[in-house]
Amino acid sequence: MSETDVPTPYVPAAVEPKWQSRWAERGTNAAKLDAPTRPFYALMMFPYPSAEGLHVGNLFAFTGSDISARFHRLLGHDVFQPLGFDAFGIHSENYALKVGAHPMELTPKNVANFTRQLGRAGFMVDWNQKVDTSRADYYKWTQWVFLQLHKQGLAYKKAAAVNWCPTDKTVLANEQVENGLCERCGTAVEQRFLEQWFFRISEYAPRLLANLDWLDWSPVTRQAQRNWIGKSEGAELTFDIAAHDASVTVFTTRADTIYGATYLVLAPEHPLVGALTTDAQRDAVTQYVDATKKQDLISRKSSKEKTGVFTGSYAVNPATGAQIPVWIADYVLMEYGTGAIMAVPGHDERDFEFAQVFNLPIVRVVAGPDDHADTPLGDAAFTDDDHGRLVNSGQFDGLAVQEAKRTVTTWLEGKQHAKAVTNYRLHDWCISRQRYWGPPIPIIYCDDCGAVPVPESQLPVELPFISDFKPDDSGISPLARHEEWYRVPCPTCSKPARRETDVSDTFLDSAWYFLRYPSANHSDVPFDAARTKTWLPVNSYIGGNEHAVLHLLYSRFITMVLKDGGFIDFEEPFTRFRAHGMIIREGAKMSKSKGNVINPDVYMEEWGADAFRMYLMFLGPYEEGGDFRDQGISGVRRFLDRLWSSVRDASTEGAPDADVLRKMHRTIKKVGEDTANLAYNTAIAAMMEYMNAVRRGERAPHRDELLPLVQLVAPFAPHLAEECWEQLGHSGSVFDAGWPVFDAAMLVDNTVDLVVQVNGKVRSKLHVPVDITQDAALALAMQEEGVAKFVTGEPKKVIFVPKRLLNIVV
């Protein structure tokens, strides 16, 4: 085959650039966007182009996605796999501030570096359809999306208590606050009142929840969304206030415990607090309300110590007629339910604690199976609502809790004191950001016409290049400091007016980007109708579960809104979603401070992109993640070396070995199934096993034993596969060669190893024909000394599992 005896060694640094440029020349990775036969849209979560470059976590995610895309292509789909950049946002802006540069100049550099790294890793990305959220040709349409929501009445402005990060100097969505700390910088979040734009995602809560039942998504992701949406069925109960012409409505999921409601609690911000406070209590209440207001959200949410103040007023329990005190306390939150609760200390942990601190009455109205009506509650509330029955509850005594919830609600409804309601934890989405690096919200304020949406024909509202983009403490966007941009004529009446100076949340950029890819080069529409019909919804989306409740929920919401607006005919953007796991290093999380971050460039340099890709996939189950150990990569590289030299040594003389061939067909089956299931680690193990069989004892492999292996390995190590494919005499790309087909007849063996057990313990193995009968197997087994000596008497029972085992019970 070669003129020298020394085989050319495998040098990734030569093979990989060769194929990367050949793919570019041949357009191998470009999808047939307009006339696909079997369109398959494979999407991976686009990265934020940081200055540090590609993180190994990105590479892990993308490689798994790329393998899936290449696999589908080999199966005969017209695969479209695009990639872009989530370039707007606070990350980029903060980084620019830190290094004293401008994001408009930094971003293209970072994008270029990312593109280089992504290219080096050999992804089958169609770079003709590129998306960069920070370019006007993209955010023009992000603004268009905002206008559609505005048109449908789903965008509104309100002054609201918002999470304010004093370091980043911006508002954060609830989803971006962790433990009262800013998700990004870890600063304690404060409460501020600002005029903000919101999207009415809460209106879509029932639909967002219901569709989860049929979506083909990773169960963990669906569960995370369910929890986040937080459906809660209960009732709103109305309590009249004694000596006032007023009433307080509370939300409860435990209407059955109404007889145990011994006091009410309002949130300190509740609108009725002023009216219900008596003169005697006025000072104490005012002081408490002020203290709460000043408190930042961190201490309010982290301290579980119960504090509160009596208002001086009493409410009437609609069931008992008793007068019960009305308190205010910060453990009741204004933003959930009605901002008021009925406190049932006997059966709610928080109420119990509060009642103990302030010496309020605690009454048992639910008894467990071992309790009677007057069993003392001890030192904790009784909260088991599956095994409880009502006591001390008048006509309802004896009812099971679940039944009583309905019965009591119905009874109170009859008295005009109740209404069954469903509450959701999901809040409206605050999309305003008082920052610079984002799409300006397309609204103009006019003294006469109010908040006027920018006409679609005037989009984009371009983000001006300004040098003083640093946010200040005022809570007003830096754009407001630029009069020439800020002052505009009203689109309706042409009088002097002002632009909205907030930009929108980065999550709005990424909530619709999948719609843009197929139409990325269309400048007249956000997404072309025909292209969209052909390619969407996305067939396969793979990404990290850290986006389970942010990006994925927002994308679903925006898709529903666009469907309702008549722009698309589907309401779920991602037919199938799979969450990949997290990758750690030597048992520890990777972080800059620990200095154990993996630089992909270094590994690709030393081992080659193919080996690096394959090792990332080999170190653990893709959907669970794995532990990156530096030593491990050599095993994968050895495998690729062996494949390389096998192809060089392959002979075309004679015939392939029968045993190797059988193994080959089994391997084709296994690798196909595992790859489809994202079980990449075991797919690779199966290929290694086959490699071992092919080269056992340095035997010379036959060409036909290797051809299918090259196809199987192609999604994992695409460069090497192409080179081997060419080496084996092909001129086209291996990715147009199809996926090998296994011969089912080659999978069945004539003989098997039958395990012989006595009382469940393995005593022997028999090499027997597959179709051996129980009696024949038993007779053979009894001839084995190692078996016979354990079978003392007549067997009590014999269990025979064909092809697997024979168990003799004595």
Partner RNA sequence: ACCCGGAUGGCGAAAUCGGUAGACGCGAGGGACUUAAAAUCCCUUAUCCGCGAGGGUGUGCGGGUUCGAGUCCCGCUCCGGGUACCA
Task: Pick the closest to residue 139 from 58, 84, 194 (CA basis).
Answer: 84
Task: Pick the closest to residue 110 from 118, 122, 120, 121 (CA basis).
Answer: 118
CA distances from 715 to 21, 47, 413, 678 (A): 18, 22, 63, 12
| CB 716, min distance to RNA, A | 13
Task: Name the residue nearer to RNA (CB basis): 182 or 224.
Answer: 224
Are 81 and 66 in contact, with CB atoms under 8 Å apart?
yes
Task: Give the pairing type, strands 496-499 and 443-446.
Answer: antiparallel
| CB 617, min distance to RNA, A | 11
| CB 440, min distance to RNA, A | 29
Task: Name the residue nearer to RNA (CB basis): 39 or 339.
Answer: 339
Task: Pick the closest to residue 777 from 750, 808, 749, 809 (CA basis).
Answer: 808
| CB 803, min distance to RNA, A | 9
Task: Name the residue nearer to RNA (CB basis): 526 or 626.
Answer: 626
Task: Name the residue nearer to RNA (CB basis): 545 or 559.
Answer: 545
Task: Pick the closest to residue 577 from 524, 538, 616 (CA basis).
Answer: 538
| CB 490, min distance to RNA, A | 40
Greatest alpha-carbon span in the chain? 107
| CB 638, min distance to RNA, A | 5
Contact partners, residue 616, CB within 8 Å, separation at least 6: 56, 59, 60, 63, 583, 628
Task: Pick the closest to residue 125 from 28, 38, 205 (CA basis).
Answer: 28
**Strand, helix or coil for residue 146:** helix
CA distance 185 to 445: 33
Task: Name the residue nearer to RNA (CB basis): 156 or 790.
Answer: 790
Length of the chain, please? 810
Task: Name the residue nearer to RNA (CB basis): 441 or 766.
Answer: 766
| CB 223, min distance to RNA, A | 5
Task: Name the residue nearer to RNA (CB basis): 46 or 644.
Answer: 644
Half-sphere exposure of 294 (CA within 13 A, CB side): 6
Tokens 């083909």 found at = 216
CA distance 409 to 415: 10
Task: Name the residue nearer to RNA (CB basis): 558 or 805.
Answer: 805
Are 553 and 225 in contact, with CB atoms under 8 Å apart?
yes
| CB 760, min distance to RNA, A | 3
| CB 562, min distance to RNA, A | 26
Task: Name the residue nearer to RNA (CB basis): 216 or 472.
Answer: 216
Task: Name the residue nearer to RNA (CB basis): 66 or 348.
Answer: 348
CA distances from 152 to 99, 200, 453, 460 (A): 42, 10, 12, 20
Task: Name the residue nearer to RNA (CB basis): 262 or 807.
Answer: 807
Amino acid sitting at position 674: D
| CB 575, min distance to RNA, A | 21
| CB 438, min distance to RNA, A | 22
Helices 609-618, 718-727: crossing angle, 10 deg rounding: 120
538 phi and psi, to 5 degrees? -60, 130
CA distances from 471 to 94, 287, 462 (A): 10, 33, 19
CB burial string 540-577: b at 16+ within 10 A, e below: bbbbbbebbbbbbbbbbbbbbbbeeeebbeebbbbbeb
- Structure tokens of 636? 């994968």
Amino acid sitting at position 633: I
| CB 734, min distance to RNA, A | 22
| CB 324, min distance to RNA, A | 15
Task: Name the residue nearer to RNA (CB basis): 83 or 430.
Answer: 430
Task: Name the residue nearer to RNA (CB basis): 316 or 582.
Answer: 582
Are 615 and 636 in contact, with CB atoms under 8 Å apart?
yes
What 8-state DSSP symbol labels residue 571? S
Task: Name the residue nearer to RNA (CB basis): 285 or 805.
Answer: 805
Task: Name the residue nearer to RNA (CB basis): 40 or 382.
Answer: 382
Task: Name the residue nearer to RNA (CB basis): 393 or 545.
Answer: 545
Tokens 């467990």 found at = 368
| CB 225, min distance to RNA, A | 10
| CB 748, min distance to RNA, A | 12
Are 341 and 324 in contact, with CB atoms under 8 Å apart?
no
CA distance 772 to 749: 13
| CB 62, min distance to RNA, A | 20
Number of Cβ within 10 Å of residue 140's Cβ equals 18
Task: Pick the closest to residue 364 from 325, 407, 250, 355 (CA basis).
Answer: 355
Task: Pick the closest to residue 61 from 509, 547, 513 (CA basis).
Answer: 547
Task: Name the residue nearer to RNA (CB basis): 161 or 476.
Answer: 161
CA distance 479 to 465: 10
Amino acid sitting at position 430: C
| CB 245, min distance to RNA, A | 25
